[in-house]
């Protein structure tokens, strides 16, 4: 098979109905690493990963906005097959929105994936389901792929609301999206109680919610597009637990926080298949 160049879509992963969803391992750096540290990280990561790794797994890094241009230059100059991602964006194309960054600005920097609706955005910055929906649609309209993040709090989990909360978040985030667009998108299931706590969901529990997410997408758009959606698990993913999570049939990748800040740890997560 011809090797994809950076910037080309992954045909296997985005084909509706394709059972061969190519895994996507994404590093969400949150508010860590300046632009110089971003360059050093990417160089180290690319050295640690082989062509075979990239053949099996799509890899994205999501620096803060200030690191995107430097990351783009190093990825482009060295022709590295690592996808560039952002952590957030505004839903408007331009205008008087002090401090915000638009999807088209990100697309111009070769950003391919944008996380929308991360629980930290929802909880700390007051983002609503409606905001998340507008962002997801704006990212798609700018030709990029949203990583739509959903997940329940510990309180919701303990009161057996996980399924209803997550299904409602997925339904709200994807309202008004076309079934063609849905087939290529990414949903990240991140239980809030597992983020940064070291308390990873059991693979079986995570699989159950990821299956529910696929079923919810299927109900809205049909089974075929739903089978093309990549669903990531996020929340205390580490080199030691990645392969067990990735063995589940509806878990197609990971959205990694803390462990994505260390290039060796992140590379070991990308290479999860070698530790099985
Ligand atoms: P941790 O991997 O640090 O738990 O963070 C998960 C996360 O929020 C990724 O978006």
Query: Count of alpha carbons within 13 Å of 45, Cβ hemisphere only?
Result: 31
Q: Decide if 56 is catalytic.
A: no
Please give the model's pTM, rounded to 2 decimal places: 0.93
> Both tokens of residue 47?
């050295």
Q: pLDDT 10s digit of each residue in the chain, 276 long?
A: 233 333 344 443 333 334 579 999 999 999 999 999 999 999 999 999 999 999 999 999 999 999 999 999 999 999 999 999 999 999 999 999 999 999 999 999 999 999 999 999 999 999 999 999 999 999 999 999 999 999 999 999 999 999 999 999 999 999 999 989 998 899 999 999 999 999 999 999 999 999 999 999 999 999 999 999 999 999 999 999 999 999 999 999 999 999 999 999 999 999 999 985
The reply to whether 118 belongs to the active site is: yes
Residue from 118, 120, 152, 248 carrying the catalytic annotation: 118
For ligand 1, which residues put their CB under 6 angstroms from it?
Answer: 28, 118, 190, 195-196, 234-237, 255-259
What separation in Å is there between the alpha carbon of 125 and the centre of ligand 1?
Answer: 17
DSSP 128-171: -HHHHHHHHHHHHHTT-EEEEEE---HHHHHTT-HHHHHHHHHH
């Amino acid at each position: 098979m011809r090797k994809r160049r950076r910037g080309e879509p992954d045909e296997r992963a985005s084909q509706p109905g394709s059972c061969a969803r190519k895994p996507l391992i994404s590093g969400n750096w949150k508010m860590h690493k300046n632009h110089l540290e971003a360059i050093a990280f990417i160089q180290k990561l690319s050295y640690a990963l082989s062509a075979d790794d990239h053949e099996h797994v799509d890899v994205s890094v999501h620096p803060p906005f200030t690191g995107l241009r430097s990351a783009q230059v190093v990825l482009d100059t060295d022709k590295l097959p690592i996808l560039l991602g952002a952590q957030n964006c505004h839903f408007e194309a331009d205008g008087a929105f002090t401090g915000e960054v638009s999807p088209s600005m990100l697309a111009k920097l070769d950003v391919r994936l944008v996380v929308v609706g991360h629980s930290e955005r929802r909880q700390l910055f007051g983002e609503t389901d409606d905001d998340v929906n507008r962002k997801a649609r704006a990212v798609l309209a700018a030709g990029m792929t949203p990583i739509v993040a959903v997940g329940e709090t510990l309180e919701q989990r303990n009161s057996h609301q996980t399924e209803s909360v997550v299904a409602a978040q997925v339904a709200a985030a994807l309202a008004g999206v076309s079934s063609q667009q849905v087939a290529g998108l990414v949903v990240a299931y991140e239980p809030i109680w597992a983020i940064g706590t070291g308390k990873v969901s059991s693979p079986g529990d995570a699989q159950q919610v990821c299956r529910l997410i696929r079923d919810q997408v299927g109900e809205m758009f049909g089974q075929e597009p739903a089978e093309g959606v990549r669903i990531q698990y996020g929340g205390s993913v580490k080199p030691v637990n990645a392969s067990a999570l990735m063995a589940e049939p509806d878990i197609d990748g990971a959205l990694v926080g803390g462990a994505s800040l260390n290039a060796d740890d992140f590379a070991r997560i990308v290479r999860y298949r070698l530790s099985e």
